[in-house]
Structure 1
Amino acid sequence: MNSSRDHYVSSGSNPRLKAVIALRRRRTREETGQTVVEGHEEIRLALEAGVTPRTVFVSEELFSPSGRAGSQEIGTQAELVDRLRAAGVEIVRLSPAAYAKVSYREGPDGLLAVVDNVGMPLGSLRVDRPDWLGLVTQGVEKPGNLGAMLRTADAAGVDAVLAADPVTDWGNPNVVRASKGTLFAVPVASATTPEALAWLESNAVTLVVTTPETGLLHTDVDYTGRVAIAVGSEKHGADDALLAAADRRVRIPMRGRANSLNVSVAAAVVLYEAVRQRASRSEPIDPG
């Protein structure tokens, strides 16, 4: 898989590696418009979503013994590198010690890519179907939760995820990692809460907000039209503006001592209720 065109770096103090490490900081990501994606499956998903990495850093010594980082269908790590090279992507081969400097995950598989940041202007999102389904996350702080919601959104067939008043950015490497690369497969945008609410209203999207402070169960709402499901922050939940704008406020029944679920779990529960309803009806119904 090696090529005479590949670069080789053995020193962890190489300036190029320092530039990759700097992308762990949000300010650097915003200034450069770049972020990092680590892992065979994550890079493959990004590539299939139309993302062409700027550079891929490779350490063959860290490849799995079989060359496969996941299922038999996704191909070997070496095959992915060959595919990237054929696409004109710069390949930089690293010693294991040098790779350890740029890696940010446990059990690395020897593949890390520098890619352009994701996200689009809110006005570029399209609500072009009568059964459009969106997810709104307001003030979510933990990158792992945001990434987990992206993974669920991809699995549930969500059309877009909108971060309202985001605390973390889409390019946070831990968002990418927790999403398993699905960040690149789902359209995403960021906005203030007022901007998000105005956009939803202008597109005639019904807003369903999760909160423990309501008597309406999440299973008692119709999700088969143009619907956005919204969840609030881990600490405070949905704020007053989001709750006031809700067409429906719903709660997930809780039988134990806690009155709420982890925000990513709550999003998954309600999204899959929407999936269940939509699968059982051939024609979308206006939830209003």
Structure 2
Amino acid sequence: MAFHIVLVEPEIPANTGNISRTCAATGTHLHLVRPLGFRTDDKTLKRAGLDYWHAVKLEYHDSFQEVKDKYPDGRFFCATTKASRSYADIEFRDGDFLVFGKETKGLSPDILAAHPDTCIRIPISGDVRSLNLSNSAAIVLYEALRQTGFSGLT
């Protein structure tokens, strides 16, 4: 089993490229929910992912609901600055889905409202609005991997 990162309507190709490289390095599945703010042949996207694209388990979806329908037994943790619960308070399990929204607006209110018990946040100073998307995905993913013993990683 492996973790899943879901990017809902990502806008910046370099962030998605960086996240794809993290996914390749950890065996994590990457789900991209359209519309994307870039073309998948974008040079910035490819450069950020370097030559690891062949190792990324990548799926495209037309909506977040499509992801949920395909994985009805999945546990979906929605990262948002609006959550009261820290990602460090979660007991992650192999197969969990870590969901992140677009860089400029985050996840939609509808998605957040549908997951009130699984919204998580990364603690930050009140002087900063949020962290970079690729940094946020790596922070939460590596905590989940740590909790599950870094299975399959050396």
Of residues 71, 77, 82, the one that matches 1:213 is 82
Partners of 2:92 and 2:144 within 8 A in 1: yes
Equivalent residue, structure 1, for 2:94: 225
Question: CA–CA distance in 1 between the matches of 2:120 and 2:40?
Answer: 27
Partners of 1:156 and 1:271 within 8 A in 2: no
Of residues 102, 110, 113, the one that matches 1:241 is 110
For residues 170 and 184 of structure 1, do their structure 2 counterparts lie closer, same or farther at Cα, with a shift above 3 Å needed? farther
Q: Please tell me the root mean square deviation across aligned C-alpha atoms, in Å.
A: 1.8
Q: TM-score normalized by structure 2?
A: 0.87
Question: CA–CA distance in 2 between the matches of 1:187 and 1:214?
Answer: 29
Of residues 54, 61, 69, the one that matches 1:198 is 69
1:195 corresponds to which letter in structure 2?
A: E
Question: CA–CA distance in 1 between the matches of 2:114 and 2:26?
Answer: 25
Equivalent residue, structure 1, for 2:30: 161
Equivalent residue, structure 1, for 2:45: 175
Partners of 1:232 and 1:239 within 8 A in 2: yes
Q: TM-score normalized by structure 1?
A: 0.48
Aligned to 2:71, the other structure's residue is in SS state helix
1:267 aligns with 2:137: yes
Aligned to 1:279, the other structure's residue is in SS state coil
Residue 184 of structure 1 deviates from its aligned partner by 1.7
Partners of 2:20 and 2:49 within 8 A in 1: yes
Equivalent residue, structure 2, for 1:89: none
5+ residue gaps in structure 1?
A: 1-128, 282-288
Partners of 2:5 and 2:30 within 8 A in 1: yes
Equivalent residue, structure 2, for 1:146: 16
Deviations 1:228-282 (A, max 9, x none): 101100100011233234351100000251131011111011011011101179x
Greater relative CO, 1 or 2 (CA 8 Å, sep 6+):
2
1:162 corresponds to which letter in structure 2?
A: H
Partners of 1:207 and 1:245 within 8 A in 2: no
Return structure 1 stretches of 4+ with deviation > 6 angstroms.
none
Aligned to 2:91, the other structure's residue is in SS state coil
Question: CA–CA distance in 1 between the matches of 2:110 and 2:56?
Answer: 26
Partners of 1:197 and 1:245 within 8 A in 2: no
For residues 279 and 175 of structure 1, do their structure 2 counterparts lie closer, same or farther at Cα, with a shift above 3 Å needed? same
Question: CA–CA distance in 2 between the matches of 1:180 and 1:280?
Answer: 23
Paired-residue identity, %:
27
Deviations 1:81-108 (A, max 9, x none): xxxxxxxxxxxxxxxxxxxxxxxxxxxx
User: Greater Rg, structure 1 or structure 2?
Assistant: 1
Equivalent residue, structure 2, for 1:279: 149
Deviations 1:186-213 (A, max 9, x none): 1112112221222232xx1100110011
Aligned to 2:24, the other structure's residue is in SS state helix
Residue 170 of structure 1 deviates from its aligned partner by 2.9
Aligned to 1:162, the other structure's residue is in SS state strand
Question: CA–CA distance in 2 between the matches of 1:250 and 1:145?
Answer: 20
